[in-house]
Amino acid sequence: MYDVIAIVGATGAVGRIIRQLLEQRNFPYERIKFLASERSAGSTITFKGEEHPVELLCPEAFADIDLAIGSTPDPVAAEFVPWAVERNCVVVDESGYWRMDPKVPLVVPEVNPEALANHQGIIASPNCSTTQMVVAMKPLHEAGRIRRVVVSTYQATSGAGVAGQAELKEGSRAALDEQTYEPSCFAHPIAFNLIPQIGSAKYEGYTSEEMKMVYETQKIFDDDSIQVCPTCVRVPVSNCHSESILVETERPISVSEARELFAATPGIVVVDDLSAGRYPMPHECDERDEVFIGRIRRDLSCENGLAFWCVSDNLRKGAATNAVQIAEHLVARQAAV
How many residues in total does the chain contain?
337
Query: Measuring CA to CA, which residue among 113, 29, 22, 124 is closest to residue 81?
Result: 124
As to burial, measured by CB atoms within 10 angstroms (0-12 exposed, 13-18 middle, 19+ buried), residue 319 is: buried
The catalytically annotated residue of 89, 141, 232, 241 is 241
| 141 catalytic residue (yes or no) | no
| 241 catalytic residue (yes or no) | yes
SS (H, E, C) the chain: CCCEEEEECCCCHHHHHHHHHHHHCCCCCCEEEEEECCCCCCCEEEECCEEEEEEECCHHHHCCCCEEEECCCHHHHHHHHHHHHHCCCEEEECCCCCCCCCCCCECCCCCCHHHHHHCCCEEECCCHHHHHHHHHHHHHHHHHCEEEEEEEEEECHHHHCHHHHHHHHHHHHHHHCCCCCCCCCCCCCCCCCCECCCCCECHHHCEHHHHHHHHHHHHHCCCCCCEEEEEEEECCCCCCEEEEEEEEECCCCCHHHHHHHHHCCCCEEECCEHHHCECCCHHHHCCCCCEEEEEEEECCCCCCEEEEEEEECCCHHHHHHHHHHHHHHHHHHHHHC
The catalytically annotated residue of 89, 119, 128, 310 is 128
Catalytic residues: 128, 241
